Chain A
C-alpha cells in the first residue's frame, strides 16, 4: 500500500499482479437462426452447446465444464463460461455447428475475455456522438 503522508489524505493504492493465467474464459456468443422459427430456451441452448462439443470432440468434449451464465431468448445471445484449457475446444465446436433440430444455424462469437467485467463493454459497438 502507498505511504500515508503526514497530515495529508492517504493516497492509498493497491496493485495486484496475477501471475497465474485465469481459470475461466468468458465468451459472449449469439446464435443465428435465419428461419424465424421457435427459439430455444435456456436448457435447450445448453443442450445445443454440449451437442456441438460432443460432435466435434466426443464424450471428452461433452464433459467439458461449460456454464451458460446469462441467456437472452429474445436476442439469442448468451455469455458462456468455460475452463481455460477448454477454450479452444469450445470455440472450435461452436464454429463448426451447423444445425439445430435440422434447422440451419450459426454461432457468432462476439467477445471473449478471461475477465467477466471486460464483456460489459464492447468497443466495436461503441457509438461516439
Chain B
C-alpha cells in the first residue's frame, strides 16, 4: 500500500535522573517531540510530521451558515505508538516522506516535562522500521543483548541471580491472535 507509507522510529529515553521515568508517558513525550520539531523545522516541519498527542479526531469545521453541514471527521492518530517506562522505550510514527525531519529533531529533545517539573534526558534512536512488527522484532533482539550485557556488568550476586532467572524464563509465546511480548527485567542498575 504505497499510498500512506509510514515509518516507525524506535528510540530509548536515557536520563541520569531516576525520576524521569515517571514522566515517560505519551502526552509528555508527544509534547516534547512536537516542541523539538517546531523549534528545529518550524511550522512546515510541524505540519509535515503531523505529530499529535491528542487521541480524539477532530470533527469537521465550524458549522456552516446554511443547513448544509458536512461532517468529515479528520482522525489525527497519536504518533506515540508504544511506551515502556521501565526500559524507556518509545515508538514514534510518522509519514515516510518526512521521517528525516523527525529523526533530525530528536537530538533536540533535552528534557521531559510533567507536573511543572523538568527532567533532563536525551533520546537515543535505536531503529527505524517500516512496520510495527519489524520494530518489535528488533526490540526483542535488542532487549536480549541488553540483558546479557547487564548480566556481565552485574556487581553483586543478588542482581546476578535475579537477571539469570528472568533470562531463563524469557520466552516468546505465540498466542492465537497475536504474538506475546518478551518478558523483560525492569533494568535496575
Which residues does A use to contact B, with CB under 8 Å?
A: 53-61, 92
The CA of A77 and the CA of B68, in the complex, are separated in Å by 47
The 3 closest A-B CB pairs, nearest first, are: A58-B42, A58-B41, A57-B42
**B39 touching A57, Cβ below 8 Å:** no
Interface footprint category on B: 10 to 19
The CA of A58 and the CA of B104, in the complex, are separated in Å by 12
B40 partner residues in chain A, CB cutoff 8 A: 58-60
A53 partner residues in chain B, CB cutoff 8 A: 42
Number of A-B contacts (CB under 8 A): 29
Which residues does B use to contact A, with CB under 8 Å?
A: 37-45, 104
Residue of B nearest to A57 (CB): B42
Main secondary structure, interface of A, reads: helix
A54 partner residues in chain B, CB cutoff 8 A: 42
Give the Cβ gap from A65 to chain B, nearest Cβ, in Å. 17
B45 partner residues in chain A, CB cutoff 8 A: 57-58
Of B37, B40, B43, most buried by chain A (CB within 10 Å of CB) is: B43
**B44 touching A59, Cβ below 8 Å:** no
Give the Cβ gap from A21 to chain B, nearest Cβ, in Å. 22
Residue of A nearest to B42 (CB): A58
Give the Cβ gap from B109 to chain A, nearest Cβ, in Å. 14
A57-B41, A60-B41 provided; 20 other pairs, C-beta below 8 A?
A53-B42, A54-B42, A55-B42, A55-B43, A56-B43, A56-B44, A57-B42, A57-B44, A58-B39, A58-B44, A58-B45, A59-B39, A59-B40, A60-B40, A60-B42, A60-B104, A61-B41, A61-B42, A61-B44, A92-B44
